[in-house]
Amino acid sequence: MKVKSTRFGEIEVSEQAILQFPHGIPGFIDEKVFAFLPYDVDSPFAFLQSVNEPDLTFMIMEPFSFFPDYDFELDNSIVKALGFSDKNPPQIFNIIRMTEKLEEMTANLLAPIIVNWQNRKAMQYVLDKTSYNVRHRVFPDGLPQQADKGGQ
């Protein structure tokens, strides 16, 4: 499938990389189909590119490399609706907010993206009764090379 993107140009995307968001994404409820574009093979970062809106791209990340204690429970209705099971657990991503300074990048831990790769359905799930918020610093101690040098 060909997808047009102002960020990436026109790209060919396999059907396996297409995710259906039946309820859209909060703030973008009409956008229901996104292409999952990995940043690099072993990178925790990726992009969600709207299939219908070339200007709509989200940068996302797998949170556990940066937030190993990140934990929450999904409502049973969500588990059932998206088709998760012990043999088919969800993959979790979080939307990233980029800033001019990379070390100030934040992740939205309040509303993770939940993906079922078997049926390619996904949703953004807003957590209830949690201390997580929409702007957790990804590098609270500075970039890794800065942290190794004592932040200098």
Q: Is residue 151 part of a domain?
A: no
Amino acid, res. 133:
N
Query: Is the pLDDT confidence value at 85 over 80?
Result: yes
Number of folded domains that form the chain: 1
Q: Is residue 50 part of a domain?
A: yes
Identify the band that residue 113 occupies on the pLDDT scale cut at 50, 70 and 90: very high
Identify the band that residue 144 occupies on the pLDDT scale cut at 50, 70 and 90: confident
pLDDT in the model for residue 45:
95
From residue 46, alpha-carbon distances to 75, 141, 152 in Å are 26, 23, 29
The number of beta carbons lying within 10 Å of the beta carbon of residue 46 is 20
With tokens 């200098």, the residue in question is 152
Q: Domain of 81: which CATH number?
A: 2.30.290.10
Beta carbons of 14 and 51 less than 8 angstroms apart: no
Query: Is the pLDDT confidence value at 1 over 80?
Result: yes
Condensed to tens digits (0 to 9), the pLDDT of residues 25-56 reads 999 999 999 999 999 988 999 999 999 999 99
Beta carbons of 34 and 19 less than 8 angstroms apart: yes
* Weakest-pLDDT range from 43-57, 71-85, 109-123, 136-150: 136-150
Q: Give the range of the structural domain holding residue 102, as residue numbers without chain letter.
A: 2-145
Give 85-90 contacts, CB < 8 A, sequence gap 24+.
88/116, 88/118, 90/114, 90/115, 90/116
Q: What percent of the chain has pLDDT over 70?
A: 95
Q: Is residue 150 part of a domain?
A: no
